[in-house]
A and B are shown apart, each in its own frame.
Chain A
């Protein structure tokens, strides 16, 4: 099992560009999550999907959109990147929201 995989690993964008971060899990988990990690701020939830077909906002959703493409895949889209979105982005999944969350290796995004 690969667990939770994320692509790309690194990305540099210019202000105003758009991109989609991809996440996939092979553990047959129902719930998936997107977090960002910033120095001094810790990890914060952007969006989550409790089950296939549902998505909900987390603590810091502004500037992002998500798509739960199927049970395995959960993507995060930045429509118009801003320097404030420079961060490390982590995807996670769990059997359901009551259980242990498993994290991917992260995507390091720099917006200039």
Chain B
């Protein structure tokens, strides 16, 4: 059964710092991987989608990488801002593409 783990569970950094969030998954037979942001009491906002054939995707200050063979993905956030404070969720789509399996998230706090 696919399991997704995100480390650390919580992270606090000062404004301006570059940071990396980690996601690992146990079954490398995935269709794609998606990173989300969730603000308290809100829904999920999609940040980046990486297909299994891709190595990385970039959007603004965000860069996500995927190493399918080792079961790992990282989300790199450059020059962090207080507005980046949120919970970041990683989810993998199984090989049939029928379900997202989520990690429990990393809660990020960026102080000014």
The residues of A with any CB-CB pair to B shorter than 8 Å are 4, 33, 35, 40-45, 48, 50, 56, 58-59, 90, 92, 96-106
Question: Do B43 and A90 touch (CB < 8 A)?
Answer: yes
Give chain A residues whose Cβ lies under 8 Å from the Cβ of B36.
103
**Chain B positions 92 through 112: 1 when the CB is less than 8 Å from some CB of chain A, otherwise 0:** 010011111011110000000
Give chain B residues whose Cβ lies under 8 Å from the Cβ of A104.
43
Shortest distance in angstroms between A15's beta carbon and chain B's nearest beta carbon?
Answer: 25
Question: Do A101 and B43 touch (CB < 8 A)?
Answer: no
CA distance A58 to B102 in the complex (A): 13
The residues of B with any CB-CB pair to A shorter than 8 Å are 31-32, 34, 36, 42-46, 49, 89, 91, 93, 96-100, 102-105
Give chain A residues whose Cβ lies under 8 Å from the Cβ of B89.
42-43
Give chain A residues whose Cβ lies under 8 Å from the Cβ of B91.
43
Contact (A43, B42) CB under 8 Å given A98-B32, A98-B97, A100-B34: no
A45-B99, A103-B45, A105-B43 given; 8 more Cβ-contact pairs under 8 Å:
A42-B102, A42-B104, A42-B105, A50-B98, A100-B46, A103-B36, A105-B42, A106-B42
CA distance A45 to B103 in the complex (A): 13
CA distance A58 to B44 in the complex (A): 19
Question: Do A99 and B100 touch (CB < 8 A)?
Answer: no
Question: Do B102 and A43 touch (CB < 8 A)?
Answer: yes
Most chain A CB neighbours (cut-off 10 Å) among B42, B45, B93: B93
Shortest distance in angstroms between B33's beta carbon and chain A's nearest beta carbon?
Answer: 11
